[in-house]
Amino acid sequence: MKKGIYKILRGAFLVSDDSFKNWRFIIFISVLALIMIASSHSADKKVYQIARLKNEVSEMRSAFIDGRSRLMKLKMESGVVKIMEEKGIAPSAIPPKKIKVKSQN
């Protein structure tokens, strides 16, 4: 038991006659570890990008709602009347009449 542990600690399995199999396995495990690390970094990058895009969407949504509410206030009749009175234009006291045109066929 002690000899087996000493061989592993000394690295005898890496320099023995049949060490080629061991080196292939170690290189294979190392490549798999590198692929796993790269995949993890890629996933983290995507998570940060998703969070950034969500924040951007919420900012744009709030800007849209703010613009829509300002537009609604500008389109209100009382707001239009107030702006027109500042320019010297008053609303008509006479209600509009509908004009009907008959075709001459």
pLDDT tens-digit series, residues 59-85: 999 999 999 999 998 888 888 888 888
Q: Which residue has the higher pLDDT, 45 or 91?
A: 45
What global pTM score does this model have?
A: 0.55
pLDDT of residue 34: 97
Where are the domains positioned within the chain? 2-86
pLDDT of residue 72: 92
Residues sharing a CB contact under 8 Å with residue 36, sequence separation 6 or more, in sequence order: none
d(CA 4, CA 13): 10
Evaluate if residue 19 carries a pLDDT over 80: no
Mean pLDDT of 48-64: 97
